[in-house]
Amino acid sequence: MDNHLESAKLLRFGQGRLSRWENRDVVHHLLTGCETCGAVTSGFLPTGLADARSCDYGDAFARSGLQISESLASIVLERHEATVLLPLFLELSWERQLSLVAEDPRYRTWALCERLLDAARERGFQDPARALELARLGIEMADRLDRGVYGEERVHDLTARAWVVLANAERIRSDFRAAEKSFARAERLLKTGTGDPIELAQFFLVKASLRGNQQRFREAFRLLDRTVAIARKNGDRELWGKALITRGFLLGVANDLEAAIRLLSEGIGLIDRKTDPRLLVAAHHNLTLYLAESGRYEEAMRLLEQTRPLYQELGDRMNLLRLQWLEGKIATALGNLGEAETLLQEVRQELIEREIGLDSALLSLDLARIYARQRRGAEMRKLAEEMLPIFQSRDVHREAIAALLVFQKAAEMERVTLGLVQELSEYLKECRVPSGFRFRESA
């Protein structure tokens, strides 16, 4: 089905003029929580929370000639209530939120927990600290769901999903040890869940991103292969597209840029812009980045200009920062060093304020390339001094710190070269997890 049903079809549903199978499809779509279609049906579905709690929802659906179970009706009502409750809930303090989850049954529903986890995902790259809070709150809510109402196995599925959301937020903050523990909790819960293949595929997909961050590419690609197999078997184009995009991104990290460009382009073709605009922005961003890193600057600039409206339409600050970072990298490559420095300095400061340590350090090296080309020793020394405490706060091993100390020492002696900056940049992408890599200073 399309993302939204035609208004005429929804009206015929309300008038009882659809076939049994058409009625079933409409109900299934409404159960996804689609707010747009819910608004259209508000004339014959419950609209007020108080009224909704007391009305006979079966009668409302009987008007369309549809026989619907009491449990199905309660799910629709629950989703309706969650849509209203969540915005108010998000404005409350953490303490008040925890109190409501513990004391008020309205804040212990499946639908509200799902929407809360969606909100946590949305904030993952915009506000990682807030994403962590919401994910932990989602775990609390899932843990308190009534097993008698929702079923033990299904609650395990949803609780596992909450732990996956938390793990992803931790991954974004480069806290890989914590992410490993959260994924382990999720995996244990999934083993006692329903065995839903899509739930399992989503787990594989997010865990593959962590394995990629850790440079464990073989494991990441095996997880993505399993994701694709499930997506193809179940006819889930969106999930298939997400797996291709993730694989393309990881191939770019592994420096196989041509394969990355091909897979990102293929994955983008499977994603509906209305369904997941944030993923499309991320995919286009990485495609533009890899085109630039391949030296295909004209293609990169054309794609950047084509997709700029997507960034602006989405409107969140982190994506706009990443766009500015990408513009700075391209400006550096094209020799527009003054423009590049201004762009990168602004992004770096905000990344530091948001406690995104790894990206802050990597962006600092983009600035170091500019300083090295201009032989600006004082700025290079200041940059080196600021990088170390940023990186020490993140989950990297001692060899990474040693590499940064090499950079700091070279800056003090004014011996930083473009070759050293490039080698350090590549190494830092590899040292998020203990491994056999060793940093070797260029001769």
Tell me the HSE value of 51 on the side-chain side, using a 13 A CA sphere: 7
Rounded to the nearest 10°, the torsion over CA 247, 249, 254, 258 is 90
**Nearest residue to 247 (alpha-carbon basis) of 211, 271, 281:** 211
Per-residue pLDDT of the chain (443 residues; tens, 9 = 90+): 446 666 666 665 655 555 544 655 666 676 666 666 666 665 545 443 334 333 444 454 454 444 444 455 566 678 888 888 999 999 998 889 999 999 999 999 999 999 999 999 888 767 778 889 999 999 999 999 999 888 999 999 999 999 999 999 999 888 899 999 999 999 999 999 999 999 999 999 999 999 988 888 899 999 999 999 999 998 888 899 999 999 999 998 888 999 999 999 999 999 887 777 888 998 999 999 999 989 898 899 899 999 999 888 887 788 888 899 999 999 998 889 999 999 999 998 888 777 666 677 778 888 888 888 888 888 888 877 777 666 555 544 555 667 677 777 777 777 777 777 777 776 665 654 333 333 333 33
Q: What is the largest CA-CA distance in the chain?
A: 82
Q: Assess contact for 115 and 33: CB atoms under 8 A.
A: yes
